[in-house]
Amino acid sequence: MSKVILTNARVITPFEEIYPGTVEIENGIIKKVYEGRTSGGENLEGKIVAPGFIDVHTHGIGGFDVTYSAMGGSEQEVEETLIKMSEKYLTHGVVYFLPTTVTASHEVLLTAAKGVKNAVSYQKDQLTGAKIGGLHLEGPYINKEKKGAQNPEFIRLPNIQELKEYWKASEGNIKTITIAPELEGALEFIQYARRLGVSVSLGHTNATYEEAKAAIYAGANRASHLYNAMRPINHRDPGVIAAALESPQVYVELITDLIHLSPEIIKFTVNHTGIERVVVITDSIIATDLPDGEYSLGGLKVIVKDGICRLEDGTLAGSTLTMDKALRNLIQTGFSLKDAIRAMTYNPARAIELHKSGAILPGYSADLVILDEDLNVDSVYINGKNMLS
């Protein structure tokens, strides 16, 4: 039996803050959490222990991108890319992520689906990075009017047959799909996806309030990067944003790079939803952790300047945000550590129906991040093992 004790730390569960706190782990599972110190454990004086970050919407990092690798046509390349991505996310405190495709051809998405199946199976024997939860398909069933930085060439109507093929090719490793609910056939598609256990997120959409509500009644339970690439809120045309904000079952993703959204809009959102329904995402692309320059997203040219990603026409095209930076941004915006961490751990786990993850509670997976006082990542534990030592 393997036993790990982390003690004398500031523990953020994230429902409460315990100081000095001790976390006892047995065989990769959290056994006990309590106030007090114990001798014999690892003394984490001056450090913060929190659940590891969960990023449910990220395209790439450090020169690797799931769609880009699938465009090469080889499922092995996708598998290798996902493993590399998992190792890079780890250094930013991420313990679990959903590699997110952008709009692409059926063949490319099928290759991504096969690659993710291989990578998930590889990680069963050998875990070297953050856990790969399965694909997030962002598109291709989105609205051209709200395409943002998605390649219009491959945008199409919802297609249940295609989803069945992705599901089969990935052996069930499709976790979520972003769809525009106003498209023909979308409601039937949403119901089908929910029956498979895929969570459905409204995004890249021009849906009216009524269209968005119909999709939520059909089972959609999330909104992808709320405000970005969707019909704006208007006092006579509340649209998809108001529908998401008012619906208690809907989790709202926010890109907290302080470029996609102003700090005031982030606070405005939380005033409506409470912290419970906020899910921080990076929407990061291949250029993350790399210098400014020219990159690619789904076949479109992206120019990164001062860390901001744009298409040639100026449209924002994802981010170079990392989850640890997202946390520091939220603190700078005025959030408490408990609330900020909750929106990056427990909430995303709930949003994708991932159980026993995202909190420091007995019986939960011991997937933790240790942060220093400045909120830089010190170490990361996955299944109770220190992955950065």
Is the peptide bond preceding residue 140 cis, with omega within 30 degrees of 0? Answer: yes
- Residue 329: enclosing H or E segment and its boundaries? helix 323-333
Tokens 């704006």 belong to 232
Residue 222 β-bridge partners = 201, 251
Structure tokens at 370: 């240790």
Q: Token pair for residue 342? A: 């909750």
Cβ neighbours of 127 (radius 10 Å): 17
**Between 198 and 316, CB nearer to ligand 16G:** 316
Q: Answer yes or no: are the C-beta atoms of 254 and 261 closer than 8 Å.
A: yes
Q: Which of 69, 150 has the CB closer to ligand 16G?
A: 150
Closest to ligand 16G by CB, 228 or 379: 228
CB of 283 to ligand 16G, least distance (A): 5
Alpha helices in 103-196 (DSSP H): 106-125, 160-169, 186-196
Radius of gyration of the chain (CA): 20
The single-letter DSSP state of residue 144 is G
Rounded to 5°, angle at Cα 292 from 291 and 296: 105
DSSP run (H or E) holding 16: none
In total, the chain counts a number of residues equal to 389
Q: Based on the residue annotation, tell me whether 283 is a catalytic residue of this protein.
A: yes
Binding residues (CB under 6 A) for ligand 16G: these are 102, 148-150, 225, 228-229, 260, 283, 315-318
Can you tell me the distance from the alpha carbon of 366 to that of 358, in angstroms, rounded to the nearest whole number?
9
Q: State the minimum distance, in angstroms, from the CB of residue 156 to ligand 16G.
A: 16
The least CB distance from residue 99 to ligand 16G, in Å, is: 13
CB of residue 188 vs ligand 16G: minimum separation in angstroms? 25
Nearest to 342 by CA among 333, 283, 263, 351: 351
Residue among 55, 65, 257, 283 flagged as catalytic: 283
Least separation, in Å, of the C-beta of 174 and ligand 16G?
Answer: 18
Q: Which residue of the chain is nearest ligand 16G when measured via CB? A: 148
Interhelix angle 186-196/160-169, rounded to 10 degrees, is: 20
**What's the min distance (Å) between Cβ of 260 and ligand 16G?**
6
Q: How far apart are CA 182 and CA 191, in angstroms?
A: 14
- Residue 11's nearest CA partner among 337, 325, 365, 326 is 337
Nearer to ligand 16G, 8 or 103 (CB): 103
190 vs 241, beta carbon nearer ligand 16G:
241
**Residue 79 parent element (H or E):** helix 75-90
Measured between alpha carbons, how far is 292 from 295 in angstroms, rounded to an integer?
9
Q: For the CB of residue 386, give the shortest distance to ligand 16G in the complex, in Å.
A: 33
Q: Which is nearer to ligand 16G, 110 or 309 (CB)?
A: 309
Q: Which is nearer to ligand 16G, 225 or 350 (CB)?
A: 225
User: What is the spatial distance between Cα 320 and Cα 39, in angstroms, rounded to a whole number?
Assistant: 41
Give the active site residues. Answer: 283
